[in-house]
Chain A
Amino acid sequence: MTIVPAGSFGWLALHELRLAFRSRATRGAARWIGYLLLAGWLVIGCLTGWALRHTPIPVPPEAMIGVLAVSVLGLTFMTAQAMIGSQRTLYERGDLPLLLSAPIPGRSVLLAKLLGIAATIALTYAALLLPIVLPVAILGHPRLLGLVALLIALALVAAALGLALTLAIARLVGPRAARTVGQVVAAVLGGALFLVTQLLPHDEGRTGTFAALFDRLRAARIGTSGISALPGHAALGDPFAILVVLGVGVAAFAAAGATLERAFLSGFLDGSATVSRSRPSGRASGRLFHTGLTRTVFAKEWTLLVRDPALAFQIVLRLIYLVPLFLGLVGGRHALPIPAALAFASVLITSQLVGSFAWLTVSAEDAPDLLSVAPVARAQVDRAKLLAAFAMAAPFALLFPIAIGVQTLAGAAITLVMTVLGGGAAGYIELKLGKPGKRGAFNKRRSGSIVAGILSLLVALVFGGGAAGLVFLVSGGIAVP
C-alpha cells in the first residue's frame, strides 16, 4: 500500500483487491476443507502437467468450439455475479459514503469498485482453473497461459456489463424496484443459457443436448473461424488473439468508467434514499390480528415472502437445474414411464422447495430474540413455520399428483403421500440441522450445513425412488408414446 500514492486510483484499486481476496476467505472447518480441496486439485494439476510435459496437446475443432461455449456460458454467469456485486456496491456496502465523501474523483471510486467486482469474479473461477492450468503450462505447455488472459478479459467485460445492466434497470424501474428487478434479471441470466440448451430439439438417439449444440456450431463453423474463434485462439496462446481479448476487456472496463460515472453516482444517491412510502391504508387494524399462534406465524411468513419477490423467484428458479434430470428420466432408451417419472419429480421438487422455504422461515428468522422472549414453546413456533413452508410449496406439490391422476388415481395418491413424506423429511432436516443466516444469503445457505444438504438429497432420492417404483408397479408400467 506504500508503493502507490495514498488516495490515487492505484491505491484505491489495491484496497478493493484486498477486500475481494478477504471476501473469498472462509472460517473454521470450511476454511481447512477449502485448503484441502485446493491442495488436492493442485496435486492433480501437477500430476497432469508432469504426465503431459512431453506430450503435444492436440487441438481438434471441438476444443475451439468448447472454449467458445464455455466462454459464453461463463460470461452469462459472470455477468449475473457482477450484477449482484454491483447491487451490493450501490445499495448495501457501507464504504461507498466514506469513499465518495473523501477528496477522491468519483471516476476513481467507480473504477476501483469495478475492479473489485471483476477481481471477485475472476477469483471464483481462478480457484477452479489455475490449479490445473498453471502446472500444465509451467511444466511444458506455456501457451495454455492464454486461458488466464481469457479469464481476466471475461471478468473485466462481465464487471462492466453487470454494472451497466444494474444502472439501466435502476433508470428504468426506479430505485425502489431496482434491487428486486436486478436480482430477478441476474437469476434469469444465470440460468437462461442453461435453459436454452435444454429446450433445443434432441436428435434421434442422442442423450446429450450439448452434443447436439456442438454439432450445430461445427456445421456453422462457429468457434473455429473468424471472430468467434478468438477465445479459442487466445486460450491456446495465440499472442494476437490474447491481445485482442484483453483489449476488449480493458476497453469495456474503461468505457464503463468513462460513461457510467454520473449514473453510478445518481444510482448510489437514489439507493441511499428512503425506499418506503407512507401509505396509510385507511382499513381497520383488526384485520391483521389473529387468534392462535399458527395463524399468526403463517401471516408473518407469507407477508415476508410476498414482499421479497426476488427471493421467491430465486427459489423457484432453482428448479430449472432439475430439468435435465427429468429429461434424462423420460428420454433415452431406459426411460421411465411418464407417471413414474412425474412421481419422482414431484418428490424431488417438493423436498427441494420445502427445504428452501423451511430455511427461510426457520433459519433465516430476522428477529430470533423476539421469538425467544415470547411466552411460546419454540417447538410450537417451529411446527408453525414448517407448516408455512409446506404451504408455500403446496402449489407445486399438488401439480404432479393431479397430472398423474389423469392416468392412474392410485399412482396420484401414492405420489401425494410420498411427496408429503419427502417434503416433511426435508423440512425436518432443515429444522434440526439448518444454520442461521440472513434471508439475502439464500444462495449460500448450504455452505453453512453440508450434512443438511447431503441428507436432503438422500431423502429426495429415497422417497422419490420409492414413489417412482410404486407408481410404476400400480400403473403396470404404462408408457406414453
Chain B
Amino acid sequence: MTTSALRIRGLAKSFDKPVIEGLDLDIAAGELYALLGPNGAGKTTTLRMVAGLAAPDAGSIEIFGIDTQRDPLGAKAITAWLPDEAMLYDKLTPLEYLAFVAGLWRMDPAHAAAEADRLLQWLDLWEQRDTRCEGFSRGMKQKVALAGALIHDPRLLILDEPLTGLDATMARLVKDALRAQVDAGKTVIVTTHILEVAERMADRIGIIAGGRLLAEGTLQDLRDRAGTAGMTLEDTFIRLTSPASVAAPVAP
C-alpha cells in the first residue's frame, strides 16, 4: 500500500471571494508532484495552508497522517516551505542563516553544522558562507533558502515557483536538487509556470483553476483526458484551463 504524503479533503478558503472550493488532493510519498494553474487559480493559497501559513475555512489537511490543524508543530517538523521570495535575513551570512533555521527545527548542533557544510558545498555556496546575503543575486538567495529548506531533512518539500528568475545553471542546480530529494524517498510538491519543468520532471501533474482541481495524473493521462494526444503540455494545459473546461471540469 502506498503511503500518503499529503491528503487534502474538502479544503475551502475565501478572502474577498472564494479562492479554494472543496479541494481534494492525494499525493503519494516519494512523488514529485507539479501543481499547475493560471494566475489566481489558488495554487499558492493551497500550499500556504499546507505549510501552516494560512488557516482553512473548511476541510482537512494531513501530512504523513498528521492533521495540520490538530498537531501543527508535528506537521511542520517534517515539512519545508520554499516560497518564490526567499525568506532570508539580508544581514546574516548563509552559515548564520542555516544555524538559525537549524535552531528553529531544534536540530542537534553538531549534526546541523555538518549538514550545513555539506549543503553549502553542494549548492556551490561554500566560498560565500561568511558573506552577508544583502549583496547576493536572486539566484544566490534562492540557493541559500533552498539550503535552509533542506537542512532539517524534511519528508515533504513544498516549493512555490522555485525557478522564477533563475539563470539556466541555477535552474539546473535546483532541478537536480529536487530530483535528488525524490530519489532519496522524499516527497516534493512544486508550483510552476514553466510547463517544461513539469513536463520533464513531475511524476504526476495536477491542474487547478477557480479553486478546484480540474484534472490530475501523468502527462499521458492529461493528454488523454484533454484529447490532445501527441501535443505538448502547454496545449493540454490551455485546453484544460479554458473557460469551458473550468465550468465543467474533466473527471479524474
A residues at B contact (CB < 8 Å)? 274-281, 284-286, 288-293, 295-297, 299-300, 303-304, 307-308, 366-367, 369-377
Contact = CB atoms under 8 A, between A and B. Distances in A.
Contacts of B83: 369
Given A288-B113, A291-B109, A293-B106, A303 B128 contact: no
B73 interface: yes
Contact of B89 (A293, A366, A376): A366
A375 B96 contact: no
Nearest to A373: B81
B115 to A, nearest CB: 10
Interface in B134-193: 134-136, 148
Contact of A374 (B105, B116, B131, B136): B105
B131 A278 contact: yes
A374 to B, nearest CB: 4
A303 B93 CA distance: 10
B74 interface: yes
Contacts of A296: 99-100, 102-104
A14 B138 CA distance: 34
Given A279-B131, A370-B104, A303 B91 contact: yes
Contact of A289 (B109, B126, B133): B109
B247 interface: no
Contacts of B225: none
B104 A288 contact: no
Given A367-B88, A372-B53, A375-B73, 20 more contacts: A277-B131, A280-B127, A280-B129, A285-B99, A285-B117, A288-B113, A289-B102, A290-B109, A296-B102, A299-B99, A304-B92, A307-B91, A369-B53, A369-B83, A370-B87, A370-B104, A373-B53, A375-B76, A375-B77, A375-B104
Contact of A372 (B52, B80, B126): B52
Interface of B: 51-53, 73-74, 76-77, 79-81, 83, 87-92, 95-96, 99-110, 112-113, 116-117, 126-136, 148
B163 to A, nearest CB: 19
A288 B96 contact: yes
Contacts of B134: 275-276
Contacts of B76: 373-375
Contacts of B81: 369, 373
A373 B79 contact: yes
- Pick the 9 closest A-B CB pairs, nearest first: A296-B103, A276-B135, A374-B104, A289-B109, A375-B77, A288-B99, A375-B76, A274-B135, A367-B87
Contacts of A281: 130
Contacts of A286: 109-110, 113
Given A280-B127, A299-B100, A366-B89, A375 B74 contact: yes
Given A278-B128, A369-B87, A290 B99 contact: yes
Nearest to B77: A375
A371 B104 contact: yes
B66 to A, nearest CB: 11
A183 B43 CA distance: 42
Q: Which of A274, A284, A288 has the most CB of B within 10 A?
A: A288
B104 A376 contact: yes
Given A289-B102, A304-B89, A279 B110 contact: no
Q: Which of B74, B92, B129 has the most CB of A within 10 A?
A: B92
Contacts of A290: 99, 103, 109
Contacts of B74: 375
A169 B40 CA distance: 47
A15 to B, nearest CB: 29
Contacts of B116: 285, 289
26 contacts: A278-B127, A278-B130, A280-B127, A288-B96, A288-B113, A289-B99, A289-B113, A291-B108, A293-B104, A296-B104, A299-B96, A299-B99, A300-B89, A303-B92, A308-B91, A366-B89, A367-B87, A369-B81, A371-B104, A373-B51, A373-B52, A373-B76, A374-B101, A375-B74, A376-B73, A376-B106
A361 to B, nearest CB: 12
Given A286-B110, A288-B113, A369-B81, A300 B73 contact: no
Nearest to A281: B130
Nearest to B126: A280
Contacts of B110: 286, 289
Contacts of B91: 303-304, 307-308
A289 B103 contact: yes
A307 B128 CA distance: 17
A468 to B, nearest CB: 39
A376 B87 CA distance: 17
Nearest to A367: B87
B152 to A, nearest CB: 9
Given A280-B129, A296-B99, A308-B91, A285 B79 contact: no
A444 B91 CA distance: 21
Contacts of A304: 89, 91-92
Q: Which of A275, A278, A370 has the most CB of B within 10 A?
A: A370
A296 B108 CA distance: 12
Contacts of A278: 127-128, 130-131
A293 B100 CA distance: 9
Contacts of A276: 131-136
B172 to A, nearest CB: 23
A371 B74 CA distance: 15
A295 B103 CA distance: 8
B127 A275 contact: no
Contacts of B102: 289, 296
Nearest to B53: A372
Nearest to A293: B103
A284 B110 CA distance: 11
A57 B181 CA distance: 81
A26 to B, nearest CB: 23
Q: Which of A276, A291, A375 has the most CB of B within 10 A?
A: A375
Contacts of A285: 95, 99, 113, 116-117, 129
B104 to A, nearest CB: 4
Contacts of B130: 278-281
A370 B104 CA distance: 9
A375 B105 contact: yes
A371 B112 CA distance: 18
Contacts of A300: 89, 92, 96, 100, 103
